[in-house]
Chains A and B, each alone.
Chain A
C-alpha cells in the first residue's frame, strides 16, 4: 500500500541512491580491470589519486573547475526537466565568454558595475544563441537536438573568426587572445591555503539555489516540470507549451552564458586560444549523473573535478592518466542504465501494488513482464 502514496518511501529513496552508487562501483571495477590487464596496479593508482586529490592545492583546483561544471550542468538540467535537450551549452558559453571578454575589455566602469556588465552581456549572449534553437523549435518545429549541435559548430566558427587579429584579438607570443579585462572588471577570489578559490563560485551556488527555488516553488517551475512529464497534461491544465519551450531555452542559454565566467573573471581575464572548451558536454554528463537535482549535480560536479585534477598525478607514476576519461565515460553510461533499471523496478513495484490492491494478485500481465524484461 505504502508504495502507492508515500513520497518518502524509504525503499524508493534507497533505490534512487542505489543507481549512482552502483554506477560508480561498476566504473571503478571496470577501470580496475582495464588497469590490471594493462599491467598496472589499480590499488596504487586509486590511492595516489585520493592522496593527491586531497591536498589543499588540489582541492582549490577541484572547486574552481567544478564551478564551471556546475553551471553548465544546471543549464543542461533546466532543459532536461522539460524534455528539452540543450546539447548546445558548449557553443553558448563560448560565444558568451568571447563577447563578454571583448565588451569587458572595451569599457571602463567602477568595479562592481563593470563585473555586472560583463555578467549581463554573457547571460544575454548565451540566451540569444540558445534562443535561435528555441525559436526554430516553436516556429518551424526543428528538433532542438539537431539545431543546438549545428549552433555549437557555427558558434565555434564565429568565435574562431573573432579570435583573429583582424577582428578582436591581439597576438601574445604563441597565443592569440582578446585584450585583457582591466582590474575593475575582475572578480576577487578567496585566498585560502593552496591557492585562490574563484569568487564566481558563490554565484554558481546562488544559481543552484535559484534553480531549486524556481523549479520547486514557482508556477513557472511547475509548468516547466509538468510539460516535461506529460505535454498533453500540461496543455490540458492551461500551459502554453510553445512559450514554455522558448522561455526555458532562453533560461538554459542564460545560465550557459555564465559557464565561462569563473575562468574569465577569476583567472584568465581574457578569451584566448587555450580557453577551456568542451565544458558544455561535460555538463550533460554531470546533469545526468546528478539527476538534475541541484545538490546531486553539485556532488557530481565536484566528483568530476576531482577525477580531472587527481588524474594528473598518475602520469608522474607512469600510469596513463587517460584512464580517467574511460572512467568518466563509463560512469555516465552506467548511471543512465542504472537509473533506467531502477525506474523499471519502481514501476513494476507500483504496478504490483496496484494489482494487489485491486485484488488481482501480482501476476497481472504488465506486472509479470516487467522483471523479465529487466533481467
Chain B
C-alpha cells in the first residue's frame, strides 16, 4: 500500500492515466518512466502538428497555475475521505477561502491573506465536521448545504464590506496585493533560449522545465510541497495511521483506543484548510481580486482528481496536473493546441492499450484501444475542438476512469458512513 508514487509525481510532468494501473502504485521509477514517455509523446505530437504551445514554457507556467487549486482541492478531499468523511462541500469552503483571503490581504498584505484563506476554509470544514461527525448528518447532504451557505456568506459579506471601496462591489473585491514570485536565475533564461530553437525533444524538455522555474509563486512551491507532506503525515506517522484507520474501520480503531471523533474533526478541519488555501490561491495568486464564481467548480474537479488518483496523493497530483494542463492549453491558442493534443492523447491511449494487451488484459486493452482509435479518428476528421468541450475534459476523463477502472479503484472502506461511538454491532 505504502509504495506510493507521491514522492516522484509532480503535476505537469506525470500526465498519464496512472489511475488505470495504480493498483499497487507505480513506484518512483515507474512514475519517472511514464513521465518520460509522455514528454516524448508530446514532443512527437508537437513535431507533427506544429502546435508549439504543447510544450512551451508559457503553457507549463499556466498549467502549474491552474493545477495548483485543483491539487489543493484534491488534497482537501483526500484528507477528509481518508478519515471516512465525504466532503462534497469543498466548493463552498473554497469560496470562503477566496473571500477571506482577499478581504484580509486588502489591509494586511498577501501572506496574512493566505492565512486568512486557510482559516476561512477551515471554519467551513468545522461546520461540516459538526454536522457529520457530531450530529451524524449524511455527508452528502451536509456538503450540499455548505455549497449553498459558502457563496451566500461570501456574497453577503461582500455587499457589507466591499461595496463602497474602490473597485469593490457585491460580486468582487478591490484589487489586492499578491504574494511574491521568483525566477531561478540563470537556469530560467538558459532554458528559455533553448526553447526558442524548436529542436525536437531538447526544446520541448527545455520549454517544460523553463516554465517550471520562471515567475513561480512561493505559494505554488508550498502547494507542491504539501503533496510529499501529506504522504509523510498520512502514511508514515502514527497520527496518519490512526486517521486512516478511522476511514477504513472506525470501530476497530475505537477498540484500539483511537478517539475517532477527534481524528475525524482534525481531518475535516484540515480538509477545509486545504480547500481554503486553494481558494486563497485563486483570489491572491491566480488573480489579484476576489470575484463571485471564481472557484468555477474547481472543488468538484479536485474531487475528480482525487478519484482519478485512487485516493492516493501521487495519483491525485497526476490528475491535477492533467486537468490543469488541458485547461492551460485552452488559454494558449486553445483550438489548435487542444486539437493537437488529441493526437497525443490518441497515441498515448494506443500505447497504453499495447501494454495492457502485452499483459494479456484483453478486455481492458481492447476497450482502451477502441477509445484511442476513436480519439485519433476525431483528430483526423475534425479541424478544431470547440472550447466548451475542452473545458469538460476533467469530467469526461473522470467518468471514463470510473467506468473503466471502477473495480480497481479502492476508496477507504468506511468512506461516507456515519460513525457513532459505541454502536458497532
Contacts and interface: CB of A to CB of B under 8 A. Distances in A.
Interface of A: 34, 38, 85, 87, 136, 140-142, 145-147, 149-151, 153-154, 156-158, 160-161, 164, 281, 284-285, 288, 320-323, 325-326, 328-330, 332-333, 336-337, 340-341, 344, 366, 369, 373
A328 B151 CA distance: 11
8 contacts: A146-B398, A151-B399, A157-B389, A321-B159, A322-B152, A326-B152, A329-B149, A366-B423
Nearest to A334: B145
Given A150-B300, A153-B300, 12 more contacts: A38-B160, A136-B402, A146-B303, A146-B402, A150-B399, A151-B395, A154-B396, A161-B386, A325-B153, A326-B153, A333-B131, A336-B138
Contact of B140 (A38, A145, A320): A145
A153 to B, nearest CB: 4
B339 interface: no
A82 to B, nearest CB: 14
B135 A337 contact: yes
Contact of A336 (B131, B303, B386, B389): B131
Given A136-B399, A146-B307, A322-B170, A333 B149 contact: yes
Contact of A373 (B156, B389, B420): B420
A198 B39 CA distance: 58
Main secondary structure of the interface of B (DSSP, over half): helix
Given A136-B402, A136-B403, A141-B406, A329 B141 contact: no
Interface residues of B, number: 50
A164 B389 CA distance: 13
Given A146-B307, A325-B156, A284 B144 contact: yes
A142 B406 contact: yes
Nearest to B153: A326
Contacts of A156: 392
A140 B403 contact: yes
B88 interface: yes
B151 A150 contact: no
- In this complex, the member of B141, B394, B402, B421 whose beta carbon has the largest number of chain A beta carbons within 10 angstroms is B141
B153 A329 contact: yes
Nearest to A365: B422
B378 interface: no
Nearest to B421: A373
A333 B406 contact: no
Contacts of B386: 161, 164
Given A150-B398, A322-B155, A329-B148, A340 B135 contact: yes
Contacts of A87: 88, 140, 144
A286 to B, nearest CB: 11
A323 B399 contact: no
Nearest to B393: A157
Given A140-B406, A153-B297, A320 B152 contact: no
B137 interface: yes
Contacts of B86: 145
Contact of B155 (A325, A336, A369): A325
Listed from nearest, the 7 A-B pairs whose CB atoms lie closest are A325-B152, A329-B149, A320-B159, A157-B392, A161-B388, A322-B156, A322-B155
Contacts of B286: none
Given A153-B297, A157-B392, A85 B140 contact: yes
B304 interface: yes
B11 to A, nearest CB: 20
A151 B149 CA distance: 23
A34 B149 CA distance: 14
A240 to B, nearest CB: 21
Interface string B157-169: 0111000000000
B71 interface: no
Interface string B260-292: 000000000000000000000000000000000
A38 to B, nearest CB: 5
A337 B402 contact: no
A70 B313 CA distance: 41
Pick from A38, A153, A160, A323 the residue with the most CB of B within 10 Å.
Answer: A153
A89 to B, nearest CB: 11
A34 B398 CA distance: 40
B298 to A, nearest CB: 11
A153 B421 CA distance: 38
B326 interface: no
A323 B156 contact: yes
A223 to B, nearest CB: 22
Contacts of A323: 156
A277 to B, nearest CB: 11
A154 B395 contact: yes
B180 interface: no
Contacts of A145: 86, 88, 140
Contact of A281 (B140, B147, B407): B147
Contacts of B140: 85, 87, 145
Nearest to A343: B136
A141 B407 contact: yes
Contacts of A147: 399, 402
Contact of A285 (B148, B158, B398): B148
B156 A320 contact: yes
B138 A281 contact: no
A6 B54 CA distance: 69
B329 to A, nearest CB: 16
